[in-house]
Amino acid sequence: MKTKFYLLPVFLLPIFLNGCFGINEEFSSIRDVVIMSFGNDYKSEYQFSVGSVGITVSSWIVDVSQDDELASELLDDVSSVQVGVYKKLKNAASPDFQVLTDIEPDMLAAGWKSIIRSSKDDELSAVYVRKNSAEILDRLFIINYDGEELVLVEVEGDLKEAVSTVIREKGMNIKI
Protein backbone atom coordinates (compact mmCIF):
# COMPACT_ATOMS: atom_id res chain seq x y z
CA MET A 1 0.00 0.00 0.00
CA LYS A 2 2.86 2.32 0.95
CA THR A 3 4.60 1.68 -2.43
CA LYS A 4 1.41 2.59 -4.26
CA PHE A 5 1.28 5.87 -2.32
CA TYR A 6 4.84 6.76 -3.39
CA LEU A 7 4.05 5.93 -7.03
CA LEU A 8 1.03 8.24 -7.10
CA PRO A 9 3.01 11.48 -7.76
CA VAL A 10 4.84 9.76 -10.63
CA PHE A 11 1.50 9.08 -12.32
CA LEU A 12 0.15 12.55 -11.51
CA LEU A 13 3.21 14.50 -12.66
CA PRO A 14 2.48 14.24 -16.41
CA ILE A 15 -1.07 15.45 -15.75
CA PHE A 16 0.18 18.54 -13.90
CA LEU A 17 2.81 19.26 -16.53
CA ASN A 18 0.53 18.68 -19.48
CA GLY A 19 1.92 20.01 -22.73
CA CYS A 20 5.49 19.74 -21.51
CA PHE A 21 6.39 17.33 -24.30
CA GLY A 22 7.60 17.50 -27.86
CA ILE A 23 6.81 20.17 -30.38
CA ASN A 24 3.64 19.95 -32.47
CA GLU A 25 3.35 19.08 -36.16
CA GLU A 26 2.91 22.68 -37.27
CA PHE A 27 6.06 23.80 -35.47
CA SER A 28 8.04 20.90 -36.87
CA SER A 29 6.94 21.65 -40.43
CA ILE A 30 8.14 25.27 -40.08
CA ARG A 31 11.33 23.95 -38.45
CA ASP A 32 11.92 21.71 -41.49
CA VAL A 33 11.49 24.61 -43.91
CA VAL A 34 13.79 26.86 -41.86
CA ILE A 35 16.47 24.21 -41.36
CA MET A 36 16.41 23.33 -45.06
CA SER A 37 16.95 27.00 -45.98
CA PHE A 38 19.66 27.40 -43.36
CA GLY A 39 21.71 24.58 -44.93
CA ASN A 40 20.06 21.38 -43.64
CA ASP A 41 23.07 20.64 -41.46
CA TYR A 42 21.86 20.78 -37.87
CA LYS A 43 21.59 18.57 -34.84
CA SER A 44 18.69 19.06 -32.49
CA GLU A 45 19.89 20.10 -29.04
CA TYR A 46 16.54 20.72 -27.37
CA GLN A 47 12.96 20.59 -28.58
CA PHE A 48 10.12 21.04 -26.17
CA SER A 49 6.75 22.65 -25.64
CA VAL A 50 5.15 23.91 -22.47
CA GLY A 51 1.38 24.05 -22.19
CA SER A 52 -0.90 26.16 -20.05
CA VAL A 53 -0.56 24.14 -16.84
CA GLY A 54 3.20 23.90 -17.25
CA ILE A 55 3.34 27.67 -17.71
CA THR A 56 1.18 28.22 -14.63
CA VAL A 57 3.53 26.02 -12.61
CA SER A 58 6.49 27.94 -14.07
CA SER A 59 4.87 31.26 -13.10
CA TRP A 60 4.47 30.01 -9.51
CA ILE A 61 8.15 29.09 -9.51
CA VAL A 62 9.07 32.52 -10.91
CA ASP A 63 6.82 34.17 -8.30
CA VAL A 64 8.48 32.33 -5.46
CA SER A 65 12.06 32.30 -6.68
CA GLN A 66 12.67 35.67 -8.30
CA ASP A 67 10.01 38.08 -7.14
CA ASP A 68 9.96 39.23 -10.78
CA GLU A 69 6.50 40.59 -11.51
CA LEU A 70 7.25 41.14 -15.19
CA ALA A 71 8.14 37.51 -15.89
CA SER A 72 5.18 36.37 -13.86
CA GLU A 73 2.74 38.66 -15.76
CA LEU A 74 4.16 37.49 -19.09
CA LEU A 75 3.74 33.86 -18.16
CA ASP A 76 0.16 34.55 -17.03
CA ASP A 77 -0.79 35.74 -20.51
CA VAL A 78 0.97 33.05 -22.54
CA SER A 79 -0.88 29.80 -23.13
CA SER A 80 1.88 27.78 -24.78
CA VAL A 81 5.53 28.02 -25.77
CA GLN A 82 7.44 25.80 -28.19
CA VAL A 83 11.21 25.95 -28.40
CA GLY A 84 13.73 24.31 -30.70
CA VAL A 85 17.51 24.76 -30.43
CA TYR A 86 19.65 23.32 -33.22
CA LYS A 87 23.43 23.21 -33.44
CA LYS A 88 25.21 23.59 -36.78
CA LEU A 89 27.15 20.39 -37.40
CA LYS A 90 29.89 21.51 -39.76
CA ASN A 91 31.32 24.74 -41.09
CA ALA A 92 29.66 27.39 -39.00
CA ALA A 93 28.59 30.03 -41.52
CA SER A 94 27.95 33.74 -41.27
CA PRO A 95 24.29 34.65 -41.26
CA ASP A 96 22.94 35.65 -44.66
CA PHE A 97 19.82 37.83 -45.00
CA GLN A 98 18.92 35.99 -48.22
CA VAL A 99 17.89 32.98 -46.11
CA LEU A 100 15.12 35.04 -44.54
CA THR A 101 14.01 36.13 -48.01
CA ASP A 102 13.98 32.49 -49.15
CA ILE A 103 11.71 31.32 -46.33
CA GLU A 104 9.31 34.28 -46.63
CA PRO A 105 6.89 32.57 -49.10
CA ASP A 106 6.64 29.49 -46.85
CA MET A 107 6.05 31.61 -43.75
CA LEU A 108 3.40 33.63 -45.58
CA ALA A 109 1.72 30.45 -46.82
CA ALA A 110 1.56 29.24 -43.21
CA GLY A 111 -0.09 32.52 -42.17
CA TRP A 112 2.98 34.19 -40.62
CA LYS A 113 3.66 37.85 -41.37
CA SER A 114 7.12 39.25 -40.68
CA ILE A 115 7.38 42.41 -38.60
CA ILE A 116 11.13 42.51 -38.10
CA ARG A 117 13.89 40.89 -40.19
CA SER A 118 17.45 41.73 -39.42
CA SER A 119 20.98 40.65 -40.23
CA LYS A 120 23.33 42.58 -38.01
CA ASP A 121 26.43 42.03 -35.89
CA ASP A 122 26.82 38.42 -37.09
CA GLU A 123 23.31 37.56 -36.02
CA LEU A 124 20.24 36.85 -38.10
CA SER A 125 16.85 37.43 -36.50
CA ALA A 126 13.26 37.51 -37.61
CA VAL A 127 9.99 38.03 -35.77
CA TYR A 128 6.70 36.91 -37.28
CA VAL A 129 3.13 37.33 -36.01
CA ARG A 130 -0.06 35.48 -36.80
CA LYS A 131 -3.73 36.17 -36.16
CA ASN A 132 -6.33 33.60 -35.16
CA SER A 133 -9.67 33.07 -36.92
CA ALA A 134 -11.17 35.95 -34.90
CA GLU A 135 -8.48 38.25 -36.35
CA ILE A 136 -6.76 38.56 -32.97
CA LEU A 137 -3.00 38.51 -32.93
CA ASP A 138 -2.22 35.51 -30.77
CA ARG A 139 1.00 33.97 -32.05
CA LEU A 140 4.58 35.05 -32.29
CA PHE A 141 7.39 33.16 -34.02
CA ILE A 142 11.04 34.07 -33.53
CA ILE A 143 14.03 32.86 -35.52
CA ASN A 144 17.54 33.59 -34.32
CA TYR A 145 20.80 32.34 -35.84
CA ASP A 146 24.30 33.33 -34.73
CA GLY A 147 26.32 31.24 -37.19
CA GLU A 148 26.53 28.23 -34.88
CA GLU A 149 23.16 27.82 -33.26
CA LEU A 150 19.65 28.18 -34.66
CA VAL A 151 16.89 28.96 -32.18
CA LEU A 152 13.19 28.80 -33.03
CA VAL A 153 10.52 29.92 -30.57
CA GLU A 154 6.75 30.00 -30.95
CA VAL A 155 4.64 31.75 -28.33
CA GLU A 156 0.86 31.52 -28.24
CA GLY A 157 -1.52 33.49 -26.06
CA ASP A 158 -2.67 37.01 -25.35
CA LEU A 159 0.29 38.70 -27.01
CA LYS A 160 -1.32 42.11 -26.72
CA GLU A 161 -0.85 41.95 -22.98
CA ALA A 162 2.58 40.37 -23.28
CA VAL A 163 3.83 43.10 -25.65
CA SER A 164 2.21 45.78 -23.48
CA THR A 165 3.81 44.42 -20.33
CA VAL A 166 7.27 44.17 -21.85
CA ILE A 167 7.15 47.66 -23.32
CA ARG A 168 5.58 49.19 -20.22
CA GLU A 169 8.31 47.70 -18.08
CA LYS A 170 11.29 47.89 -20.38
CA GLY A 171 10.33 50.86 -22.57
CA MET A 172 9.67 50.91 -26.31
CA ASN A 173 12.78 51.06 -28.40
CA ILE A 174 12.27 50.39 -32.07
CA LYS A 175 15.65 51.09 -33.58
CA ILE A 176 15.57 52.36 -37.13
Partner 1 sequence: MKTIKTTFLILAFLVINLTAQSDDITKEPGYADFGDLTKFETSTGVTEVILDEDLLSILAEISTDEDPNVMEILNGLKLVTANVFEVNEKNKSELEAKVNSIDSKLISSNWKRIVRTRSDEEIANVYIKHNGNKQIVGLVVTSVGNDDEAAFVNIVGTIDLATIGKLGKEFNIPQLEGVNHQKGKSDEN
Return the number of the residue (66 or 164) whose C-beta is nearest partner 1. Answer: 164
CA distances to 39, 136, 149 from 90, rounded to whole Å, are: 10, 41, 11
CB of 117 to partner 1, least distance (A): 5
CB of 18 to partner 1, least distance (A): 29
**Site residues (vs partner 1, CB under 8 A):** 94-98, 101, 113-122, 129, 131, 137, 160, 163-164, 167-168, 172-176
Return the number of the residue (60 or 97) whose C-beta is nearest partner 1. Answer: 97
Q: How many CB atoms lie within 10 A of CB 5?
A: 8
Return the number of the residue (12 or 115) whose C-beta is nearest partner 1. Answer: 115
CB of 130 to partner 1, least distance (A): 11
CB of 174 to partner 1, least distance (A): 5
CB of 103 to partner 1, least distance (A): 14
Return the number of the residue (23 or 150) whose C-beta is nearest partner 1. Answer: 150
Q: Cα(141)–Cα(119) distance, rounded to whole angstroms?
A: 17
Work out whether the CA dihedral 131, 126, 160, 72 comes out positive or negative.
Answer: positive
35 close to 150: Cβ distance less than 8 angstroms:
yes
Residue 138's nearest CA partner among 162, 110, 157 is: 157
Return the number of the residue (61 or 168) whose C-beta is nearest partner 1. Answer: 168
20 close to 46: Cβ distance less than 8 angstroms:
no
